[in-house]
Amino acid sequence: MTFYEIVRFALRGLSANKLRSALTMLGILIGVAAVILLVAVGNGSAKAISDRIEALGTNTITVMSTGRGGSTSTAITKEMADALADPVLAPDVRSVSPVVSAAATVTYEGTDHDVNSFVGTTPGWFTASNTPVGRGAAFTADDEAQGRRVVVIGSTVAEELFPGVDPIDQQVTVGGALFTVVGVLDEKSSTGFQDANDTAIAPLTAVRQVLTGYGSLTSILVEAAAPDQVDAVQSQVSAILNQKMSVADGSTTTPYRIQNASQLLETQTETADTFTTLLGAVAAISLLVGGIGITNIMLVTVTERTREIGIRKALGAPRRTILTQFLIEATLLSVLGGALGVAAALIGSSFEIVGVKPVIVPSSVGLALGVSIAIGLFFGGLPAGRAARLRPIDALRYE
């Protein structure tokens, strides 16, 4: 009997038991698709996080105070920010943006809106923090120097206060003072808990005058000339700050903290990897459950199939032919089911799932396919192998 004929026998065997074949395939399909999709969702959210951090700009560092404000010894001041813009001591710094920020209520014609972070800074902040202005324009260095009350608002603020109205050149009230809207920020994707678009940016001088007063800064955003100079910038900034805040040489504690976007990226990526692993574990369990389902279906039919094997042996089928036929059946089922599962996962990954765009991990495809095929072969092949070794009459009597 030729191999081709055995394949035809296997196909006939599958089509003779359509429901069982379909159920087995469905089990494998769901298992494979679940693994691939869940891992893709985990991977997708990890990617979204790192994209967002990269959007913050990986060539910047942020200097923040470790104190809780008030105490003068830990405060970061405007003078320190000015000292950082020093072409001799800090040659790799491109720009320095002092930042103050506070929650504020913005009012326009009787409509109130609470802005999470009302930021006061210098014009260089827009490029350094990778926050382009969509409509209108950013304020200028001159606005900042003159302390003009102008403001650039985030898209959420624009939608809340100016539904159907062009916000440019409108006047809003913040902290009892009138600010003129000069621009609206481009919409930013926000996957975190805070709405990145619920913000407003105004000149540092104006914000200090109206909202925060002339105390310490919230942070200083320092931009390096190139991404690979971030580390150099960090040590130059530390040196200047240590001197300014009179930190002793070799002291392990500093009154300030430097946040490095690429370091942040690393820790966030680690967290995201843990998340992906967790989802992968859930997916693996679903594959296992799918596998148990397959096993169940196959065991239920073992009696019938064992009898069939008995008949085939009685009619003169050698053990090898029977084994080949049943292994081909099991292989076809699991390979087909697996392939359909991959297809389902590919289709599913083109949609957003719980706000995350899934990104397929190639190795998860291989793993899911491998495991499902192994399960199919093992549980399809094992009973067949055992039955093929029985004497025909014992196989026929099997119950």
Partner 1 sequence: MSRPVLDVRDLKKIYGEGEATVHALRGVSLTVERGDYVAIMGSSGSGKSTLMNILGALDVPSSGAYLLDGVDVSRLADRQLALARNRLIGFIFQAFNLIPRTSAVANVELPLAYAGVKPRERRRRAMAALDLVGLADRARHEPNQLSGGQQQRVAVARALVTEPALLLADEPTGNLDTRSTEDVLTVFDELNAAGRTIVLITHEPEVGDRTKRLIRLVDGRIVHDARQAPVTV
Return the CA Rg of the chain: 33
Is 3 a binding residue for partner 1 by CB under 8 A? The answer is: no
CB of 399 to partner 1, least distance (A): 13
Q: Compute the half-sphere exposure of residue 260: CA atoms within 13 Å on the CB side of its CA.
A: 16
Binding mask 12-41 for partner 1 (x = CB under 8 A): x---xx------------------------
For residue 302, the SS3 value is helix
The torsion of the CA quartet 108, 114, 118, 123, rounded to 10 degrees, works out to -40
Looking at the Cβ atoms of 16 and 285, the one nearer to partner 1 is 16
Among 3, 5, 191, 235, binds partner 1 (CB under 8 A): 5
Binding span for partner 1 by CB under 8 A among 87-95, 97-105, 117-125, 388-396: 388-396
CB 39 within 8 A of CB 359: no
CB of 294 to partner 1, least distance (A): 20
Among 9, 125, 179, 379, binds partner 1 (CB under 8 A): 9
CB of 324 to partner 1, least distance (A): 12
The 8-class DSSP code of residue 246 comes to: T
For residue 140, what are the CA distances in angstroms to 126, 231, 309, 374?
11, 30, 86, 66
DSSP string, 328-382: HHHHHHHHHHHHHHHHHHHHHTTS-BTTB-----HHHHHHHHHHHHHHHHHHHHH
Is 257 a binding residue for partner 1 by CB under 8 A? The answer is: no
C-alpha 316: how far from chain center: 60
CB of 315 to partner 1, least distance (A): 4
- What is the C-alpha end-to-end distance of the chain, expressed in Å? 30
Is 321 a binding residue for partner 1 by CB under 8 A? The answer is: yes
For residue 163, the SS3 value is coil
Looking at the Cβ atoms of 141 and 300, the one nearer to partner 1 is 300
Binding span for partner 1 by CB under 8 A among 4-12, 87-95, 181-189, 207-215: 4-12
Is 396 a binding residue for partner 1 by CB under 8 A? The answer is: yes
CB 183 within 8 A of CB 158: no
Looking at the Cβ atoms of 137 and 393, the one nearer to partner 1 is 393
CB of 384 to partner 1, least distance (A): 15
Tokens 């805070």 -> residue: 194
Is 383 a binding residue for partner 1 by CB under 8 A? The answer is: no
Q: What part of residues 277-316 is at the interface with partner 1 (CB under 8 A)?
A: 304, 307-308, 310-316
CB of 387 to partner 1, least distance (A): 13
- d(Cα 11, Cα 13) in Å, to the nearest integer? 5
Looking at the Cβ atoms of 80 and 388, the one nearer to partner 1 is 388
Looking at the Cβ atoms of 185 and 297, the one nearer to partner 1 is 297
CB of 314 to partner 1, least distance (A): 6
Single out the residue of 85, 114, 119, 128 nearest to residue 217, CA to CA.
119
- d(Cα 399, Cα 395) in Å, to the nearest integer? 9
Q: What part of residues 46-105 is at the interface with partner 1 (CB under 8 A)?
A: none
Q: In the chain, count of helices (H) and strands (E)?
A: 13, 10
For residue 1, the SS3 value is coil
CB of 12 to partner 1, least distance (A): 7
User: How many residues bind partner 1, per CB under 8 A?
Assistant: 27
Strands 150-153 and 93-108 come out as unpaired
List residues binding partner 1 (CB under 8 A). Answer: 1-2, 5, 9, 12, 16-17, 304, 307-308, 310-321, 391-394, 396
